[in-house]
Chain A
């Protein structure tokens, strides 16, 4: 199963909004309402920021939101802050009943 496709990098200035795309196929993202997103700071373990496409776990900032259209899911970060600088990974289950991650996107706060 190929990894989901994410842009290698996205950048924005403090206070701006950015969006990270995650493109799959009908056999993964397009076939299920079950995309999750993880934030990983350098040298740290990943942290769940979005589950089931749009759900934000307790304690995650409301500046993070998720959406999906067809075979593409997106993570939006509004009011960009320095602490948001990290790697972000999308994740989906697949028609083969496995789990696949995206290649990761490095978010840089200018």
Chain B
């Protein structure tokens, strides 16, 4: 079956730190879909960060993250990556990857990676 397995929890210090999360996929043709990234701060709603085409490696980032996020893929490893830089406490959240089809049908989702930014 289709599965997305994400990397483990991270703790980072604020003030210039960055984090790079991975999303390993299986069960489908990797290059036939986009991978989207969504985050959820504690007790909050979902926030779309952007997507990357696993075929062309084209990306589209949400304006809130422009200049601070980079999404990449490794086709041979069937894995997508999301790097977020210049972390602050506001970036404390669970970060999800999901397979995307259509404009915003995200299915299935990974289990999420918890990122804590704290001094």
A binding-site residues for B, Cβ under 8 Å: 1, 3, 32, 34, 36, 38, 45-48, 51-52, 57, 89, 91-93, 96-104
Contacts and interface: CB of A to CB of B under 8 A. Distances in A.
B46 A89 contact: yes
A32 to B, nearest CB: 7
Contacts of A47: 107-109
A45 B48 contact: no
Contact of B45 (A48, A92, A98, A102): A102
A4 B47 CA distance: 12
Interface magnitude class on chain B: 20 to 34
The interface residues of chain B, by DSSP majority, are classed as strand
Given A1-B63, A91-B104, 17 more contacts: A3-B45, A32-B103, A34-B103, A38-B106, A45-B109, A45-B111, A46-B46, A47-B109, A51-B102, A51-B107, A52-B102, A89-B45, A99-B48, A101-B38, A101-B46, A101-B47, A104-B46
B17 interface: no
Given A98-B62, A98-B63, A51 B105 contact: yes
Interface string B92-110: 0000101000111111111
Contacts of B36: 99
A103 B45 contact: yes
Which 10 A-B residue pairings sit nearest by Cβ, starting from the closest? A48-B107, A45-B109, A99-B48, A51-B105, A101-B46, A93-B103, A34-B103, A104-B45, A99-B104, A103-B45
B65 to A, nearest CB: 11
Contacts of A97: 60
